[in-house]
């Protein structure tokens, strides 16, 4: 009988260690019962049999729901209608300006070369940005200044602008 107690103690210890390490079955009380092996004749040598009993399942009193991730809608890109030709936004034709240098601002198709025609001299050029805007600095002479702009060398896109420079005073 002494051996049986030692074997039962070892089995119970093994089950407890396995359960503590998370390697065994669900927790519950373990009962060891001694049953004779079918091949043995009843006698002093008994084999231990481990029987696990189920415990009632305990439901939690409060449930924790995961916080849903916020849905972020993509910001739509602003729609810009493509510019078909050349336009000048600033200054307006026949404006009187009191500064010697102005920035002429306009619209044209993105990537277009904008040319300022300068008679008897080299032309000025700028490139239209991706948002269809172009800008070119122009130095004005005293009085009336006739300015001509076009897309590249296409004379059919020419725009003429007259700006009057009047010194402050």
Q: What is the model's pLDDT at position 13?
A: 75
C-beta separation of 167 from 98 below 8 A: yes
Domain residues for 12? 2-52
- Residue 135 maps to a domain: yes
C-beta separation of 119 from 158 below 8 A: no
- Residue 77 maps to a domain: no
- Residue 134 maps to a domain: yes
- List the CATH number of the domain containing 130: 2.60.40.10
Task: Look at residue 35 and tell me whether its pLDDT is greater than 60.
Answer: no
Mean pLDDT, all residues of the chain: 77
Q: What is the model's pLDDT at position 145?
A: 95
| Number of Cβ atoms within 10 Å of the Cβ of 60 | 6
- Residue 94 maps to a domain: yes
- Residue 108 maps to a domain: yes
Predicted TM-score (pTM) of this structure: 0.51
Q: Higher confidence at residue 13 or residue 87?
A: 87
C-beta separation of 107 from 134 below 8 A: yes
Q: What is the model's pLDDT at position 148?
A: 94
Per-residue pLDDT of 141-159, as tens digits, reads: 999 999 999 999 888 999 9
Per-residue pLDDT of 88-117, as tens digits, reads: 999 999 999 999 999 999 999 999 999 999
- CA atoms of 87 and 169, how far apart (whole Å): 32
């Amino acid at each position: 009988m002494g051996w049986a107690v030692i074997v039962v103690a070892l089995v119970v210890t093994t089950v407890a260690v396995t359960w503590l390490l998370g390697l065994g079955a669900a927790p519950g009380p373990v009962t060891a019962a001694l049953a004779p092996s079918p091949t043995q004749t009843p006698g002093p040598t008994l084999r231990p049999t481990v029987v696990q009993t189920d415990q009632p399942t305990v439901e939690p009193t409060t449930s924790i729901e995961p916080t849903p991730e916020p849905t972020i809608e993509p910001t739509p890109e602003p729609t810009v209608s493509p510019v078909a030709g050349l336009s000048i936004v600033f200054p307006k034709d026949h404006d009187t300006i009191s500064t010697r240098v102005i920035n002429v601002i306009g619209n044209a198709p993105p990537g277009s070369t904008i040319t300022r025609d300068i008679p008897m001299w080299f032309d000025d050029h700028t490139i239209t940005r991706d948002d269809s805007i172009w800008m070119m600095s122009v130095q004005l002479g005293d009085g009336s200044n006739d300015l001509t702009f076009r897309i590249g060398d296409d004379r059919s896109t020419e725009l003429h602008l007259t700006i009057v420079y009047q010194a402050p005073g």
